[in-house]
Amino acid sequence: MSVNLQTPIDYLKGVGPNRADLLRSELGIKTYQDLLNLFPNRYIDRTRYYKINELQRNNAEVQVIGVITGFREVAQKRGKRLVADFKDDSGMMELVWFRGQKWIRESLKIGKPYVIFGRTNWFNGRYSMPHPETELLSEHEKNLRSSMQAIYPSTEKLSNKGVTNKVVSKIMQQLFLETKGRFVETLPDYILKDLKLLSKSEALFNIHFPKTPELLARAKFRLKFEELFYIQLQLILKNLIHKSKIKGLKFDKVGTYFNTFFNEHLPFDLTNAQKRVLKEIRLDLGSNAQMNRLLQGDVGSGKTIVAFMSMLMGLDNGFQCCLMAPTEILSVQHYNGLLELCKPLNISIEILTGSTKTSKRREIQENLENGNLQILVGTHALLEDKVKFKNLGLAIIDEQHRFGVAQRSKLWKKGPKKNSQSPPQSSQREEAKNVLKKYMTARPSTYKLMKELQQENKKNSTEAERILWECLRGKNLDFKFRRQHIIDEFIVDFVCLEKNLVIEVDGGYHNSIQQKEVDEIRTAILKDLGFKVIRFTNEEVIGNINSVLDKISRTLSKIPPLGENKGASIPPHILVMTATPIPRTLAMSVYGDLDISVIDELPAGRKPVKTVHRYDNNRLKVFRFIRDEIAKGRQIYVVYPLIQESEKMDYKDLMDGYESISREFPMPDYQISIVHGKMKPADKDYEMQRFAKGETQIMVATTVIEVGVNVPNASVMIIESAERFGLSQLHQLRGRVGRGAEQSYCILMTSHKLSNDSKTRLETMVRSNDGFEIAEVDLRLRGPGDIMGTQQSGVLNLRIADVVKDKDILQEARYHAKKVLNADPPLGLPEHKSILNTYREMSRYKNIWNYIS
């Protein structure tokens, strides 16, 4: 009988309750599976045994064979230390312990051969080794050993409580002994052969007990590939299921709005990249599935015009559209840009933000509900329950990573109703009463018995119900279930309201003819109330819970989503946009379930922004350059990282900078605007409008102007303390200039004290204008967690793979996952049985791979 890897870690020989609690709290190891997936941080070469006279004074980790000849206690400032004399045939050294002396003295034997391992010190003309790992030579020779010893992740608490690396290695050995080192294969034979991969069992053995460096490298590759393969499989499957299950609004035609704009009002020729992306969006909108597409485009690549032309397709098919942005500044920017494009086409457009006045808000809501308002732009205000569309067909979300999943899902529910004539809640209640009345009069005695059994049912909770509830409450099936829920007059065992599915477990007392009739009538009533009912016996649940969960899972998959239900919303098409280029490896891992379009070409005639790095002592030359540019009629941005001086950091602050610039560029010859995040929105807008109209020549600001300001006449961006900014932020700020026909410049000002990472960032900015190249460098410097922000930093909490270092393996894994699903979407072929079983296992025990966003 094979060992169940979901067995709690407490039951592994050598662990016990105390160590199990420590492993759970410190490393998150709850089961055998978790321990197996505790991969080493590094490895130490244990092939060589040193003689004491061969040791060097370099504080290296070494292992020596010898015997303990005696112990002594040495007084020190605080307490005592235990010292053992240890010798081999070449010399003598000391072993030293500062804690745990009593246990050590009792457990180590004088005169017996030991293998010791640790880091050496040279002290008072002698080598010593503090807190060495010790093992009897006889035991050492018996144990599972490899040429390279695994060093596992640990914490200070584990070390203090005696759970050392040696202890972890021993319990890992015990796990392999109990399982006989045999583990279920998770990849099909043909992938193993194609890529010459080790088997699962070989890979796991060689990651923990590598026989050779070559086998260790192959084990790492195999396990990294597997981890990334299943992440990609889940993401691609999610996309396929989305397309097959979630029906969308079909936009049949490209009509008057689109064609008139394209032929008569398009302000410039579209780039080939914009045309390609519009074609991809057109195909999505014309299919029966809901579009779920990510549009990536560098700063100034023309995403807004693509978004507008996508909206025109919606308007041509009689639907409303909306655009949601994370900040008021960006919303206003989008609104002003779209307003100009809408005017010649006589399209109605409004903006809704937190500062929209109540009277205007009412007017917008009214026009939205009666269909007179065609396009609505706004912030989170669009998500409010009061904001109701008549028929929302396309929702565009800008900089979507700034919105939470729950916020984005609210937009889904604002689509048109599938059946707008669905009865109001009160008539639904009447309908339910009529159903119950029908059964009450037709079968009065059975109905009476059913009511009597209700309370008895609630009291007599069975073991089977408890087992099933543990699985359902843990969302093992991805849906929320409620226990002992009241539906009209009845208490049901379990219900998933999202799918209208009721699950009943028959207690031991469902034996008489009358009681069986009660079950039948309950089922009939619930079906008439619109629920699907499945029943299980106690024996089925206790005997084979996996089979029961599989049946529930299959039933859930056959019930159409709420979007298919009478009266529910049909979700609008979703287009999410980002001006933050996402490295390909990260896009594949974080947004792998979305279709991705990339505008990778700038409009013709755009001159790349010239970027230079200058130190603070070049400031006078920079001021001279500013004067020359202003004399040519240009405008200047000066951006600071902080609003007020920080005591901890000696960086230039906004107010200090504003004063020094005011001295260099005095009124009335020069006018200066100032904008920062602590200003009132009205004051901020006033200053921005002054700059946009050309009434001020210099804008001193914080990163609040990173997005949402479009002033083609601004040709110089000066970023103070540029070493304080991340690469993507520097690139976004640089994107505020270079929007007109004139040559533009970005000047990165820093002190001379720069870290290596800061130097790399500045050199990258000076060298490249390519946002995707910059994003790749940023990913290397900061890692995926930082780039995705705190909300999604856990998305790539991988056990062994690294999306930055292992991007080639990631691409290989995605290629094979796509190949498998193209050939066999339901994973029903015999050769894909291992994949299907693993995928189901992952869905059931989310603690194994809990990575998907």
Strand 61-75 versus strand 113-119 pairing type: antiparallel
Within this chain, do residues 513 and 376 fall inside the same structural domain, yes or no?
no
Torsion angle in degrees (nearest 10) through CA of 211, 212, 214, 217:
60
Q: For the stretch 494-518, what's the b/e string if a residue is b when 16 or more beta carbons lie within 10 angstroms of its beta carbon?
A: bbbeebbbbbbbbbeebeeeebeeb
Q: Is the confidence at residue 206, as pLDDT, over 70?
A: yes
Query: Between 580 and 774, whose confidence is greater?
Result: 774
Within this chain, do residues 393 and 512 fall inside the same structural domain, yes or no?
no
Examine the fold and report which residue of 768, 799, 831 is the final residue of a domain before the chain moves on.
768
Within this chain, do residues 272 and 409 fall inside the same structural domain, yes or no?
yes
Domain-embedded: residue 58: no
Domain-embedded: residue 317: yes
| 3-state percent helix, strand, coil for the chain, nearest multiple of 5 | 45, 20, 35
Query: Between 641 and 830, whose confidence is greater?
Result: 830
338 Cβ contact list (under 8 Å, min separation 6): 304, 308, 323, 349, 375, 377
User: For position 793, what pLDDT does the model report?
Assistant: 38
State mean pLDDT over 230-241.
83
* E strand or H helix that includes residue 213: helix 213-245
Domain-embedded: residue 281: yes
Instruction: From 104, 102, 98, select the one nearest 81 (Cα to Cα).
Output: 98
For a pLDDT cut of 70, what percent of the chain falls above it?
82
Domain-embedded: residue 805: no
- Say how many C-beta atoms besides its own lie within 10 A of residue 288's C-beta: 11
* E strand or H helix that includes residue 502: strand 501-506
- Assign 350 a pLDDT band (cuts: 50, 70, 90): very high
DSSP 3-state of 560: coil
User: For position 853, what pLDDT does the model report?
Assistant: 26
Query: pLDDT tens digits for 72-115?
Result: 998 888 888 899 999 999 999 999 998 888 888 888 999 999 99
74: exposed, middle or buried (Cβ count in 10 Å: 0-12, 13-18, 19+): exposed
Query: pLDDT tens digits for 411-458?
Result: 777 777 765 433 334 444 455 556 555 555 555 655 555 555 555 555
Say how far apart CA 314 and CA 836 lie, in whole Å: 39
User: For position 705, what pLDDT does the model report?
Assistant: 66
Query: pLDDT tens digits for 248-257?
Result: 788 988 889 9
Domain-embedded: residue 762: yes
Q: Is the confidence at residue 628, as pLDDT, over 90?
A: yes
User: For position 419, what pLDDT does the model report?
Assistant: 55
Query: pLDDT tens digits for 658-669?
Result: 888 999 999 888
The answer to which of 157-166, 459-468, 478-487, 788-797 has the lowest mean pLDDT is 788-797
695 Cβ contact list (under 8 Å, min separation 6): 671
Query: pLDDT tens digits for 12-70?
Result: 998 988 999 999 999 989 999 899 999 998 888 777 889 999 888 877 788 899 999 99
Within this chain, do residues 478 and 354 fall inside the same structural domain, yes or no?
no
Q: Is the confidence at residue 270, as pLDDT, over 70?
A: yes
Within this chain, do residues 523 and 391 fall inside the same structural domain, yes or no?
no
Is residue 315 within 8 Å of 309, Cβ to Cβ? no
The answer to which of 194-203, 595-604, 816-825 has the lowest mean pLDDT is 595-604
User: For position 204, what pLDDT does the model report?
Assistant: 95
DSSP 3-state of 394: strand
Domain-embedded: residue 852: no
Within this chain, do residues 707 and 747 fall inside the same structural domain, yes or no?
yes
- Give me the number of domains the chain comprises: 3
Is residue 556 within 8 Å of 479, Cβ to Cβ? yes
CATH number at residue 518: 3.40.960.10
Provide the token pair at 533.
Answer: 């009912």
Task: Give me the count of residues in the chain.
Answer: 853
Instruction: From 466, 461, 487, select the one nearest 541 (Cα to Cα).
Output: 466
Within this chain, do residues 332 and 281 fall inside the same structural domain, yes or no?
yes
What integer best gives the mean pLDDT of the chain? 82
Domain-embedded: residue 69: no
Within this chain, do residues 397 and 447 fall inside the same structural domain, yes or no?
no
- Say how many C-beta atoms besides its own lie within 10 A of residue 750's C-beta: 20
Is residue 53 within 8 Å of 64, Cβ to Cβ? no
To 10 degrees, what angle do helices 807-823 and 213-245 make? 50
Strand 392-398 versus strand 482-487 pairing type: unpaired
Is residue 41 within 8 Å of 151, Cβ to Cβ? yes
Strand ranges for 76-112 from DSSP E: 80-88, 91-97
Is residue 88 within 8 Å of 115, Cβ to Cβ? no
Query: pLDDT tens digits for 298-318?
Result: 777 888 899 999 999 999 999
Q: Domain residues for 727? A: 610-768
Examine the fold and report which residue of 745, 768, 791 is the final residue of a domain before the chain moves on.
768
Query: pLDDT tens digits for 566-578?
Result: 455 688 998 988 8
CATH number at residue 411: 3.40.50.300
For 225-262, give the DSSP string. Answer: HHHHHHHHHHHHHHHHHHHHHSB--------HHHHHII
Within this chain, do residues 354 and 329 fall inside the same structural domain, yes or no?
yes
Within this chain, do residues 329 and 383 fall inside the same structural domain, yes or no?
yes
575 Cβ contact list (under 8 Å, min separation 6): 281, 291, 293, 295, 307, 310, 394, 395, 396, 397
813 Cβ contact list (under 8 Å, min separation 6): 225, 228, 229, 231, 232
Q: pTM score, two decimals?
A: 0.61
Examine the fold and report which residue of 768, 800, 829 is the final residue of a domain before the chain moves on.
768
Within this chain, do residues 280 and 369 fall inside the same structural domain, yes or no?
yes
Domain-embedded: residue 549: yes
User: For position 591, what pLDDT does the model report?
Assistant: 67
Say how far apart CA 151 and CA 148 lie, in whole Å: 9
Within this chain, do residues 379 and 439 fall inside the same structural domain, yes or no?
no
Query: pLDDT tens digits for 474-523?
Result: 666 777 888 877 776 667 788 888 788 888 887 655 556 666 666 777 77
